[in-house]
Amino acid sequence: MTQTIKHDIADLSLADLGDKRIKWSAREMQVLHKIRERFSREKPFAGMRMLVCAHITAETANLAITLKEGGMEAYLIASNPLSTQDDVAAALVKIHGIPVFAKKGESGETYTKHIEIGLDSKPQIIMDDGSDVIATLLKERPSQVKDIIGCTEETTTGIVRLKAMENEGVLSFPAIAVNDSKTKHLFDNRYGTGQSTLDGVLRATNVLIAGKVAVVLGYGWCGKGIAMRAKGLGADVIVTEIDPVKALEAKMEGFRVMPIAEAAKEGDIFITVTGNRHVVDLEHFKNMKDGSLVCNSGHFNLELNLDALADISLSQDEVKPFVVEYKRDPAKTNKPGSIFVLGEGRLINLAAAEGHPSAVMDMSFANQALAVEFLVKNQDNLDNKLQTLPPQVDQEIAQLKLDSMGISIDLLSPEMLEYMNSWTVGT
Ligand code: ADE
């Protein structure tokens, strides 16, 4: 099979290990499993082609297998140079017959080359994570746009970019904002990012969180999750925000709230999840304590201004995997000593750990699978706009998840239903 399956991966001999990992994660992905069974019977994608740009993990493998069961021919490429699980990539190619172009630690050049290979496969549907593929398509391959039925987008960051495309009038096919489904962001962004980010910090450093000051930059759903889990491990948590409502939420949740300029002087561990550029900048690096740990869990590696940190540093040494010591030049900084950057400022949860746990990716990828089906089934009726899946899809996924957890809930009685639908009954 490997002769005919196209690929550019690290090492095919890792396939058996990767397959065990895929099977392990499948145990926690019962909702996706149900969808896979249905796709297998109905073959909704028979003969279709798509490009999946995602973190190449065991969870993504289960999604790819589900799409294949539905008849889809999908090419997989990495959405981040550091997040690929090489054993999983090998299993997908060798055991599951799915073309993969992704290697952990691939260069920027290879990352871009893989996007080109993916687009050369002439996809009709694109599943993106960060919107790099869609941006490349619109900028560089206008002639291919007419073949696109639609796209789906996994992250907040990608959705911000798609919104900008829509506002500029260049979005020329329907785009499903998967992140905006409740069964995606309320679970994946909050509990997934919350747990896996701390997991990444711990696997990279093994520091004791209890008693440390953890600064969480950004209090969206990801920031909420990280702050909650850091507090649970005993950290004194400071939140920084630019949105007054979110800042107020953080304060009322019991966190300290202050500008990053002040937090920089107090923190022991800094974690960015703002989706914005250089939120930790030169002045902040100059004022951090010796030994500060700095990392990012936002989609792109631009939240930390690492060039500025390099400019005030005498040396950069990898002191252990995923930990680089920047020794600050005493002549250029207000505080002496070193700053340790984790995972090169890339998503720490996927660089140093294994990403979100399968149980939350189950719901995220159930949304992705159903979004692809939604695009295919409604292709003649959708506007070329950014849109969400219908709310019934959220209800269905949540119900299946509850079922898989053995949890039943109450039903509205006829009396309750009548009350809910009337306005005449008051005090
Ligand atoms: N994004 C965050 N965690 C992930 C995972 N485990 N698999 C795929 N994408 C992810």
Asked whether 59 lines ligand 1 (CB < 6 A), one says yes
Asked whether 55 lines ligand 1 (CB < 6 A), one says yes
**Pairing state of beta strands 323-328 and 338-342?**
antiparallel
Burial annotation 353-374 (CB, 10 A radius, 16+ → b, else e):
bbbbbbbbbbbbbbbbbbbbbb
Task: Tell me: do 46 and 124 sit in the same domain.
Answer: yes
pLDDT tens per residue, range 319-374:
999 999 999 999 999 999 999 999 999 999 999 999 999 999 999 999 999 999 99
Q: Which single residue is written with the structure tokens 């895929």?
A: 22
pLDDT tens per residue, range 57-74:
999 999 999 999 999 999
Task: Tell me: do 145 and 263 sit in the same domain.
Answer: no
Structure tokens given for 236: 């004194």
Pocket perturbation via mutation, ligand 1, pick of 361, 363, 364, 365 by most ligand atoms within 8 A of CB? 361
Question: Would you say residue 427 lies in a domain?
Answer: no
Burial annotation 124-149 (CB, 10 A radius, 16+ → b, else e):
bbbbbbbbbbbbbbbeeeeeeeeebb
Asked whether 361 lines ligand 1 (CB < 6 A), one says yes
> pLDDT band for position 426 (50/70/90)?
confident
Pocket perturbation via mutation, ligand 1, pick of 77, 195, 364 by most ligand atoms within 8 A of CB? 364
What pLDDT is stored for residue 284 in this prediction? 98
Task: Tell me: do 62 and 155 sit in the same domain.
Answer: yes
Residue closest by Cα to atom 9 of ligand 1: 55
Task: Tell me: do 34 and 147 sit in the same domain.
Answer: yes
pLDDT tens per residue, range 10-67:
999 999 999 999 999 999 999 999 999 999 999 999 999 999 999 999 999 999 999 9
Task: Tell me: do 111 and 237 sit in the same domain.
Answer: no
DSSP 8-state secondary structure symbol assigned to residue 239 = E
- The CATH number linked to 268 is 3.40.50.720
Asked whether 356 lines ligand 1 (CB < 6 A), one says yes
Task: Tell me: do 174 and 132 sit in the same domain.
Answer: yes
User: By residue range, what is the domain housing residue 214?
Assistant: 190-346
Among candidates 16, 14, 20, which has minimal Cα distance to 86?
14
CB count in 10 Å sphere of residue 111: 18
- The CATH number linked to 399 is 3.40.50.1480
Task: Tell me: do 42 and 162 sit in the same domain.
Answer: yes
Question: Would you say residue 222 lies in a domain?
Answer: yes
Work out the mean pLDDT of the chain and round it to a whole number: 97
Pocket perturbation via mutation, ligand 1, pick of 196, 197, 362 by most ligand atoms within 8 A of CB? 196
> pLDDT band for position 2 (50/70/90)?
very low
